[in-house]
Amino acid sequence: MAQQRGQEPEQEPNPEDNFEVPQDTPTIYCDSMHINTGLWGSTLYIGEERPGRKPLLRAKVKVSPQMLRAISMLTGKHLRDYQQSIGPVPLPNALIHGWGIEEEIQ
């Protein structure tokens, strides 16, 4: 649910409550991601940018086409809700053009 600017966000349920979470489960920061897609699924290469060096690969996540679509739809929903509450999230033009996603930007 969207909130008005200046209001405290509603406390959302913790998604970890839906999982058994081992103590050694890593938390990964990501500001770099590449996706390779094949006939039977996709691999998400999740990394962290490092100025002047290659990004550091933090995790590889293999997903089915159905899960990739679900991730796309769910992250889109969360981003729309965030932007409705907080404001637009700009992306650098070089990134937009490099990925060839100009039609996705509104």
Instruction: Average the pLDDT over 100-105 and give the result.
Output: 82
Give the Å distances, CA to CA, from 92 to 55, 102, 105.
Answer: 18, 11, 11
Q: Rounded distance, CA 13 to CA 91, Å? A: 29
Query: pLDDT tens digit string along 20-78?
Result: 989 998 899 999 999 999 999 999 999 999 999 999 999 999 999 999 999 999 999 99
Q: Please, which pLDDT band fits residue 1 given cuts at 50, 70 and 90?
A: very low
Strand order from edge to edge, sheet including 32-37: 32-37, 42-50, 53-63
Cβ(82)–Cβ(89) under 8 Å? yes
Cβ(30)–Cβ(46) under 8 Å? yes
Phi, psi dihedral angles at 53 (to 5 degrees): -140, 165
